[in-house]
Structure 1
């Protein structure tokens, strides 16, 4: 899952990003509303965490443009504006949630999980793919009930494959959803992490569930298709 944090207080922005990265999300940071608007044109995100008091472009104006240009993109407002009228204005403009400052990181994490589950797992917090299970609340992947230790990148790749079961995902698509905006698109990073992920899956499953097809990319297969 890829998140954009738009917050002009750099220490707070960096702290939020680092905390969410520990939760195995891919996070980009932006300190200016206008810069965030430009980035949203070229990079795919699953969620935007948006402050309202921003230089370059006010947060509410940025929210208006997001709703006009990307109506399905999840937006969580994070603001010191605690008046009921401010909350109503943000929600009326299409924000999916509103959290006032100061806040606890644990509450922010919980709201992020809820918003992302709402889009990708509308009926249950558990995604099953054969013997693999993705717990979208605990942010864990297990094999037949036993936790599977993965690096954050390995987790993000397998999570994306499980959420997109039956679909081929190109290296470019994985790069867009999992790596930061400044990552080198011509690196071998995806292949390297796929290789290490396959090794761990083979050790636990006895087979490699990740299929590769030239010109198509990668997808997750069940045991019966291996």
Structure 2
């Protein structure tokens, strides 16, 4: 999930729509709303954030410490009129990257991936056993062959592989796939998506690589 922060609804709604067209969930906040959310949100909600996209507002340089107190996800600042001084100030404040508008959401996602790789976390390609996922929109490879999946099932598989070796709850999956404020979708829809995904994986592999335990959640490689 990508969190977009800007006082202009045109900006937050626009990016939410664009990320959605790429199959990436997002949430939009005004500045004051975001401050309150970061301070009080549940750990499961914060852990679902893949990156923070900060619009052009005066307080964003001071937000880095607040964000870092809850999350290590990349922080990218959008700039309406980028100058050397403002860019250097943002980097000094702890922003990971600064991009000038207009910028395509695919470039933003690529920059998030580049930041992760610099941190030693390559999220463009992840694998476990016979499953390999590509978080750039490509179909997963299972048993050496592409497996075409609906968008939501592919995102669930990517999330499970990214968190290989540990269990994730249904709530964590829902937040990562649909976003934390999607009230139009029931959380139980995750169970339906996972059931369909597990059947397809079992047909390809001959066994079910996804394990589940009541109250603990789902996992691959656990």
TM-score (norm 1): 0.82
User: Per the alignment, do residues 106 and 128 of structure 1 end up closer, same or farther by CA in structure 2, a change over 3 Å counting?
Assistant: closer
Task: Provide the rounded CA distance (Å) in 2 between the counterparts of 1:12 and 1:148.
Answer: 35
Report the equivalent of 2:61.
Answer: 60
Say which is worse superposed, 10-19 or 45-54, in terms of deviation.
10-19
Report the equivalent of 2:21.
Answer: 22
The reply on whether 1:143 has 2:147 as its aligned counterpart is no
User: Per the alignment, do residues 118 and 18 of structure 1 end up closer, same or farther by CA in structure 2, a change over 3 Å counting?
Assistant: farther
Deviation at 1:37, TM superposition (A): 1.6
Q: Aligned-pair RMSD on alpha carbons?
A: 2.5
Partners of 1:20 and 1:109 within 8 A in 2: no
Deviation at 1:48, TM superposition (A): 0.3
Task: Provide the rounded CA distance (Å) in 2 between the counterparts of 1:20 and 1:139.
Answer: 16
Report the equivalent of 2:87.
Answer: 87
Unaligned runs of 5+ in 2: none
Unaligned runs of 5+ in 1: none
Deviation at 1:186, TM superposition (A): 6.8
TM-score (norm 2): 0.83
Deviation at 1:118, TM superposition (A): 4.7
Deviation at 1:64, TM superposition (A): 4.2
Partners of 1:23 and 1:139 within 8 A in 2: no
Task: Provide the rounded CA distance (Å) in 2 between the counterparts of 1:176 and 1:118.
Answer: 26
Report the equivalent of 1:198.
Answer: 198
User: Per the alignment, do residues 123 and 150 of structure 1 end up closer, same or farther by CA in structure 2, a change over 3 Å counting?
Assistant: closer
The reply on whether 1:49 has 2:60 as its aligned counterpart is no
TM-superposition CA deviations, 1:2-51 (whole Å, max 9, x none): 11011333333333222222333221112x11111222231312210001
Deviation >6 Å, runs of 4+: none
User: Per the alignment, do residues 181 and 138 of structure 1 end up closer, same or farther by CA in structure 2, a change over 3 Å counting?
Assistant: closer
User: Per the alignment, do residues 103 and 179 of structure 1 end up closer, same or farther by CA in structure 2, a change over 3 Å counting?
Assistant: closer
TM-superposition CA deviations, 1:156-206 (whole Å, max 9, x none): 211111011121212222233333222469731221111111122123222
